[in-house]
Amino acid sequence: MLNRIFSILGAQWLIRQDTAISYLPVLIAFIKGQDILTKPTDGPKPYVFGWSNPEKKIETVKWCHLYDPDIADNSVAVIPIDGVICSWDSVYLMKLIHEAEENPRINSILFVVNSPGGMVSQIDVLANTIKGLSKPSVSVVMGMAASAAMWVISATNYRIATSPMDIIGSIGTKTSIEDYAVLLEKIGIKITDIYATLATRKDEVWRAFKETGETKLILDRVDFVNGIFHQAIQNNLNIPAESEVFTGADYFAAQAQSFGLINEITTMQNALIKVYELGLANKLINQSKSINFKNNL
């Protein structure tokens, strides 16, 4: 747990400000030595939908490992992305994605998203993993897909909001600098940093800010990450660089649709039908390619 707290404190973030502020009481409690929740809680688990063909009605909902060989053929894997996306969450999600990709009984993947964003670390790798899928993917927003979560859903083949009040966007990057020196001195702890003679650039970003208030080095790093974020959205959604969405604003669903961030506003049921049909079409295309290849041989 301590390792994760230290990771959180030292991370760069793609996240909405109101969410970041809501975590401050937990951080302050930790600094004061108070008990905080240290046991990870069980988050939403992946599951699959089976179908009653050819009526396209949902037949079963089965909670299972996505690598389970006994699920129904042409099942849809449902992978929740809920809450703040930390680097270890991205790694776990990639594991689930690989399982769904490798199971021949799964024809497509539906990501159910309600997230304000998360850590910079691994988010690009997660998005690229989704974009590289051979099976169709659809993201359905149920509340929010902001910042890092927007990056993730941009990599899916189709994006759906389920409510006009869903919040989507926040395409921007931020970082925060915490200086605990005053607080530590109040409890009798004074820290003095001594650097090796040749380590002139060690911690240069922090040292420049601490000694002179200079933020240019920090801004350069934030701008670098922001540029990669913007480029990913431009490439994934074919949105021009001059679009208003790159100011970092977030939008309710209808406006997000008008900017091209999502494709439509509809129900979870329709989202399931959409991803299922994309999966069937993809399977038929692949079968046709295989037959043509064999005939050519």
CB 174 within 8 A of CB 13: yes
- Tens digit of pLDDT for each residue in 212-221? 888 899 899 9
Confidence of residue 293 (pLDDT cuts 50, 70, 90): very low
pLDDT of residue 97: 97
Nearest to 68 by CA among 50, 81, 80: 50
In a domain, 33, yes or no: yes
CA distances for 42 relative to 46, 82, 115, 142, 149, angstroms: 12, 11, 16, 19, 20
Domain that holds residue 75: 2-179+244-293
In a domain, 235, yes or no: no
pLDDT of residue 295: 58
247-260: average pLDDT: 97
Higher pLDDT, 16 or 200: 200
Residue 192, judged by CB atoms within 10 A of its CB (0-12, 13-18, 19+), counts as exposed
Q: What is the mean pLDDT of the chain?
A: 83
252-277: average pLDDT: 96
Confidence of residue 2 (pLDDT cuts 50, 70, 90): very low
128-147: average pLDDT: 97
In a domain, 100, yes or no: yes
CA distance 62 to 72: 10
- Buried b / exposed e along 220-229 (16+ C-beta atoms within 10 A): eebeebbeeb
pLDDT of residue 236: 98
Q: Flag the least confident range among 62-66, 108-112, 114-118, 245-249.
A: 62-66
Joined together, the tokens standing for residue 185 give: 């001195």
CB 65 within 8 A of CB 98: no
CA distance 80 to 44: 6
Domains in the chain, number: 1
Joined together, the tokens standing for residue 75 give: 């099942």
pLDDT of residue 252: 98
In a domain, 284, yes or no: yes
Higher pLDDT, 135 or 207: 135
In a domain, 234, yes or no: no
236-256: average pLDDT: 97
Q: What is the CA radius of gyration of the chain?
A: 22
In a domain, 189, yes or no: no
In a domain, 24, yes or no: yes
CATH code for the domain in which residue 78 is found: 3.90.226.10
119-127: average pLDDT: 93
Residue 244 has pLDDT above 90, yes or no: yes
166-177: average pLDDT: 90
CA distance 40 to 51: 34
pLDDT of residue 38: 45
Helices 204-212 & 216-237 angle (0-180, nearest 10): 130
In a domain, 219, yes or no: no
CA distance 294 to 90: 39
Q: Which helix (H) or strand (E) holds 221?
A: helix 216-237
CB 215 within 8 A of CB 157: no
User: Whole-model pTM?
Assistant: 0.82
